[in-house]
Each structure stands twice: as structure tokens, then as C-alpha cells.
Structure 1
Amino acid sequence: MEELLYALSNAGGKRLRPAFVILSSGFGNNGDDNILNAAAGIEILHMATLIHDDIIDGADVRRGHPTINHLHGDKMAVYMGDYLLTRAVMLLSRAMPEERMERLARGIKSICEAEVEQFYSRFHYEISLVTYLKRIGRKTAMMFSYSCGEGAFLSKTPYEYARILAKFGFYYGMAFQIQDDITNLTRDSAETGKPKGNDIQEGVITLPFILAMRNSSDLKECVKQMFLEGKPEHKDIMCITREILHAGGIDGARTWIERYRQKAKSMLMSLPNRREKEILAALTEQIGH
């Protein structure tokens, strides 16, 4: 178990969610161990969800490192994901009162529901923009919002600022997920740790896909035919990726990133001037660059 924990802790990642807990706590006046417990708990919870994602996707690599399921099999990976989930709950329950833990439980429930919906809608190419935005709001943006909100709550940040920070986290998370979806189509596996076009291969319809098919009926028909034939092959994925680019799917998705970036920045403008605010603003600017 210790060997697996060590491998996970050294497998890279941005650690943004715990950073947001700590940065958001800087707008209050109570920096105690509860904040660190919450930050660690949220990151461990995130790691648990990634392990379960890798099992479902049959992924061999994440962040350039072999996955737990690839090295030790699906059974051990399930145990490891469950173990991390338990450790996360233990840390978070030390940090938070019961009513805040209930809020976390509702958030985890929302993530699971969004993932199940995504799983059952694979290869359904007619997913709407509204459905996509709601889904990433529940599975990604919600956790960023929670991280900011709980950091603010634990440091006794004034309610007005805590509410603003939670909204900032949500908008940041929306932009973050859209950028991740673009990266899946445009960057090589050496950079991302996942095969280029992996979302297409798994039948996951993301924003660049949706926007490109709006602009090109030929692309839509091509995707329909490709999905009817089963899992796309590598040559199909490369072809579709090029068509998404030519049909404006990537540029259109970047416009949505900028929309959410501006919303996040507008939230920060309402906060008092502190070093933490400058760091959050800098992180917001980095999305997509």
C-alpha cells in the first residue's frame, strides 16, 4: 500500500484544488490545521476519482506515468480508489462540521451522476451545448467552487466574499474543463499522458466537437457514420480532429474559455486586494496559454 501511495503522490498534477482551498482561506482571519486537512482531503478525493476514471476508460497512462490499473490490475485499482476515498472523508470530517460534510456528499453525488450520464451518452453525437455545459458544471466546476467556498468558510471569511470565491471557482472550473477538452484533441500524448483524440475514441462528445458539427453538416454525417461502425480507429480519429479544427470547433471553444475567464476575473474584482487575489488572477490568465 505504501508503495502505491508513494507512486501516486509523485505522479504529477497541478494540485489546483488544494491550492484554491488555501488561497481562498487568505481572505479570512483564521488559518488553522482544519484548512490543511480540507485541502489534503479534497486532493485525495480528486485522486480517487481519477483512479476510478482510469479503470472505466481502461487507461494505461496518466500524466505520463503508468496507471494503477495498468501496473496492478483493475481489482487493486478499485481497492486503491476506495481506500483514498475513505482517507479523504476522514480528513474532511476532521476539518468540517456535519452540515458542510453533507454539502460535500451532495457534491460527490453530483459528480457521480454526471459521469454516469456521460458514460451512457457515449457515441451519441447529437448532445446539445446546454447538456454539455451542465455536465461539466457538475463534474468539474462544482469541485473548484467547493474548494474555494470551503477554504473561505474555514477561515471565517465574510459571507459576501465566500460567495464570490465560490462563484469564481465555478467559472474557473468551467474554463479549465473546456481547455482540457481542447488539449485532448490538439496535444500529443507525450505532453498530456493520454492518447491524442482519446475522447473521440471513447465516444465522448466535447465542446469543440459540438461547435464544429454546428458549422459542418458533412462533419456531422461523417461522425454519425463513424460511430455507427463502432470504436473509431486511429486514422479516423486523426481525420475527425482535422475536420473539427477546420470547422472552427477549437476556435469556438476558446471563445467559451474566454467567456468564463472574464466571468471569473469579474468575481475577483469584487474581492479586497491581497496577495492571494493576485495569485488567483494569474492562475486564471494561464488557462489556455
Structure 2
Amino acid sequence: MKKLHLILVALFFCVVGFSRNQVDTISVFSTKMKKEIRNVVIVPENYNVKKRYPVVYLLHGYSDNYAKWINTVPSIKALANKHQFILVCPDGGYSSWYMDSPIDSTYQYESFITKDLLSYIDTHYSTIAERSQRAITGLSMGGHGALYIAIRNKDLFANAGSMSGGVDLRSSTKLFDIAKRIGNIETNATEWDNRSVINMVNSLKNDELNLIIDCGVSDIFYQINAALHRRLMNLGINHDYIERPGEHDWSYWTNSIQYQLLFFERNFEKAKKK
């Protein structure tokens, strides 16, 4: 009986170690905001701790939360299976723009993602903990946030994307709570300039980041995305740029995420061969 008990215990730990729910909701403590923040993690259905997986951080838009992607586009579970990625959907607050606010200590979401969450994911999941196997993308506010974080943290991310991103904060000076995060533009113009992705790309060197930018031609942010594309072209920065019929809505993003993940997979594979 004792031998049978030991066998059953071993089998139990084997099952625990090698299988888990495909979709987890986890709480991770923010050291700067001093609170627990919820996040969704999606693993491939055949997730196995003996294997290591690339990770894509997938950011939500203004006024949404960590569960918006999985609730609105449940097909991303199938995409995690198809590409063999771990997808992480952080909570970015109602209107953080994924920045560390210089005027509001309760909005420090860049630090949360790059320090607390990234460390937690690499510790608790079977990841390939290398920048070349890590990507970040998002929609709208999250599109700006993904590029903003990647440009400022090139040691952590080699791949970044944006879907309908608000890539020039100055186009929305009275909207989306941006002034609550960095002050009004009349007295804090430098903050608005320096934190707008369309200006931040001036600091990039070619091929420092693998970039994919995607926006519908009827989107409220189309003009600023087209301007970002022209800026990158003028700077000689390689990137994928997609524009096609579409608006600022979930129909567009449900389609767009497929191209973004394919782009990341190709670059993950390319990096493995180097």
C-alpha cells in the first residue's frame, strides 16, 4: 500500500506540473502602485513545462481592462495553440496610456509591466526569457503603449506592434484622460512631445526593434498612423505597415491580431536561427 501511495503522489505531481487551465486570471503586486493588479494569461492547450514558449504581451484600449481581449475575441485561445505562444493580457488601468505618470502615483503602469509582471511571468510560466522571444502589442491606447514601452525598454523587447494606435498624444489633447496623466499641454508641452511615439521613434536605429503597425483607413487614428509610417520611412527604419478598409472597432482588431501574431512568429523563428 505504501508503494502504491507513493506512485499516486508521483502521478499527482506529474499532472500538476505538466497541465493547467488554458486561461488563467492572476494577480500580480505592483511595487510602485502598492496594489494587486489582475491579468489574463493564455497558454497553448498542450502547454508543457518541459517546453519553453515565446511570450506576447497584449494590451487593451482606453476604458477597458485585462479581460477585454479574451471576452471579446475568445478565438485568441486558438491563436495561442496555433503559434505556441503564451499570451499575457495585463490590466493597464482605465486610462494609463501605459506610462508612469509624473503627476499621479496611482498610475505607474510602465513599471508594472516591465518590472513586476514580466518577472512574474518568467518565474511562474515556462517562457523563453529572452528579448528576442518576447513581443508587445495592443490596440488604440494599447497600441501607443506597446510601442512606447518597447522603445523605452529595448533590452526587454525585440518585437512590438500597434493596432489602431493613438501614436501621437498631441492629436487628443482634450480626450482620453491624457492630461490627467501628464498635465495639460499648455503648461507641459515637453511631456506631450517626448511621450508621443511619433517623436520617440526618432531615437531608434534601424532593426533595433521588429515593428508592425496596422490601422484601418476609416479609423479615428488613421492620419497619425500614416504619419508615423512616413516618419519611419524617412528615418530608414524597417517596419511592416498595413492599412486597409476598417474602423476603430473590434471587427478590425479581431482580424488584425492574426497578422500581428504571424509577424511575431516569423521573427521569433528568425532569431532562433541566428
TM-score above 0.5: no
Which structure dedicates a bigger proportion of its chain to helix? 1
Which structure dedicates a bigger proportion of its chain to strand? 2
Q: TM-score, normalised by structure 2?
A: 0.30
